[in-house]
Amino acid sequence: MDASEVDALRIAALAAFSAATDSGDLEQARIDHLGRRSPLALAQKQLGGLTDEERRRVGALLNELKTAITEAFDARHLELGSVELSQRLASERLDLTGPARRIRPGRPHLLTQVEAEIVDVFLGMGFSVAEGPEVESGRFNFDLLNIPPDHPARGTMDTIYVDEDADIVLRTHTSPVQVRTMLAQQPPIAVVCPGRVYRADAVDATHSPVFTQVEGLLVAEGITMAHLRGTLLAFAKALFGDDREVRLRPSFFPFTEPSAEVDVSFESASGWLEILGSGMVDPAVLAGCGIDPERYSGFAFGIGVERVAMLRHGVADIRDLYDADARFLAAF
């Protein structure tokens, strides 16, 4: 092997390195020109068959060749590496000046909002919040509320029984929370009882087997129907606007005597809309819960949260409140 052959190998290697345009190509060129089967490596293997003098001469040439090719490879390797890095940086560049993606924050469901608003009105009048279980005994849901076992409200048509033999029901109203409150404390009592209630009703535009109530109870000395009317008028004005009137119509509930249906005036509708049931707590209910009816009297009321939400926001179908349609929910 002479200097011109060595030169030819060097030129070929350098040409291959500069022709490589990515690190894959360059690696192939390295294998071709510096690898175990490259002409350089083969020439080095054949050194052993040469005379001492020749071996020293060719060995020195091949060493120089190897150094030259290696340096050329290293230089190209660095060069391609930095080209590829800048290509990657360019392609992965984030435009931080672009418009931000719109974030849609969540919010409480309309029913949750209205429930909180109703509760808030009563908190402002000095009531506190009492809560109780949704799976309730018939004793608290019915018996202590003066609803005898043969009362139609106890039939399976209205009540969803969890265990009929053990008299365990899904509460049909939050009145049992009022019972629990009276059993636990003496007057003065002023509580509102928000929560879910259950009735075996078929679903239609105005009925749902699960709905939401805020019921209230106030028991103290000297409480009259006038307190009931004033409290509910304040509630109606807070929820529906200052120019509302309330009207009490005689009604019947087993646990109140007298009982009254409360209507709120609406200019738009036919004049009055029924919004809740109420009454003076029946003395038998007070006595059954350990409160002396000779000394104390009280009123109670039950508000349907769905009905208030529908009246106030013009929702025609109760199912809209449960369907979780994002377009509906976004309106509130």
**According to the binding rule CB under 6 A, does residue 231 interact with ligand PHE?**
no
Stretch that binds ligand PHE, among 56-64, 228-236, 273-281, 310-318 (CB under 6 A): 273-281
Stretch that binds ligand PHE, among 52-60, 267-275, 299-307, 317-325 (CB under 6 A): 299-307
Answer yes or no: are the C-beta atoms of 170 and 136 closer than 8 Å: yes
Give the residues across from 301 on adjacent strands. Answer: 216, 278
Grouping H, G, I as helix, E, B as strand and the rest as coil, residue 206 is coil
- Could you tell me the end-to-end alpha-carbon distance of the chain, in angstroms, rounded to an integer? 90
Q: Shortest distance, CB of residue 205 to ligand PHE, whole angstroms? A: 19
| Tally of CB atoms within 10 A around 318 | 20
Choosing from 138, 194, 279, 298, the residue that interacts with ligand PHE (CB under 6 A) is 279
- 17 contacts ligand PHE (rule: CB under 6 A): no
How far, in Å, CA of 145 to CA of 160, rounded? 18
- In sequence order, which residues have a C-beta less than 8 Å from that of residue 187 and are 6 or more positions away? 219, 220, 221, 291, 296, 298
Identity of the residue numbered 119? V
Question: What is the identity of the amino acid at 151?
Answer: H
For residues 299 and 279, what is the distance between their CA atoms, to the nearest angstrom? Answer: 6
DSSP 212: E
176 counts as binding ligand PHE under rule CB under 6 A: no
By rule CB under 6 A, what string of x and - marks binding of each residue 34-73 to ligand PHE? Answer: ----------------------------------------
Q: Which range in 71-79, 242-250, 295-303, 315-323 contacts ligand PHE by CB under 6 A?
A: 295-303
| Peptide bond connecting 188 to the previous residue in cis, omega within 30 degrees of 0 | yes
- Calpha distance 28→35 (Å, rounded): 9
**Which positions from 253 to 272 touch ligand PHE by CB under 6 A, shown as an x/- string?**
x--x----------------
CB atoms within 10 A of CB 214: 26
- CA-only gyration radius of the chain, Å: 44
Cβ within 8 Å of residue 14, ≥6 positions away: 69, 72
Applying CB under 6 A, does 235 fall inside the site for ligand PHE? Answer: no
Contact letters (x/-) for ligand PHE, 185-224, by CB under 6 A? ------------------------------x---------
- For ligand PHE, how many residues bind (rule: CB under 6 A)? 11
For ligand PHE, which stretch binds (CB under 6 A), given 25-33, 34-42, 123-131, 300-308?
Answer: 300-308
Closest separation in Å from C-beta 102 to ligand PHE: 43
Q: Candidates 18-26, 41-49, 180-188, 275-283 — which segment interacts with ligand PHE by CB under 6 A?
A: 275-283
Residue nearest to ligand PHE (CB): 302
Which one of 278, 286, 291, 305 is in contact with ligand PHE (CB under 6 A)? Answer: 278
173 binds ligand PHE (CB under 6 A): yes
Q: Going edge to edge, which strands form the sheet with 168-170?
A: 135-137, 168-170, 161-163
Q: Which residues pair with 162 in a beta bridge?
A: none
Could you give the 3-state DSSP secondary structure of residue 216?
Answer: strand
Dist. CA 279–CA 2, nearest whole Å: 119
Smallest gap from residue 216 Cβ to ligand PHE (A): 8
Least distance (Å) between residue 318 CB and ligand PHE: 16
Residue placing its CB nearer to ligand PHE in the complex, 240 or 253: 253
Task: Kindly list the residues in this chain that would bind ligand PHE in the complex (CB under 6 A).
Answer: 173, 175, 215, 253, 256, 277-279, 300-302
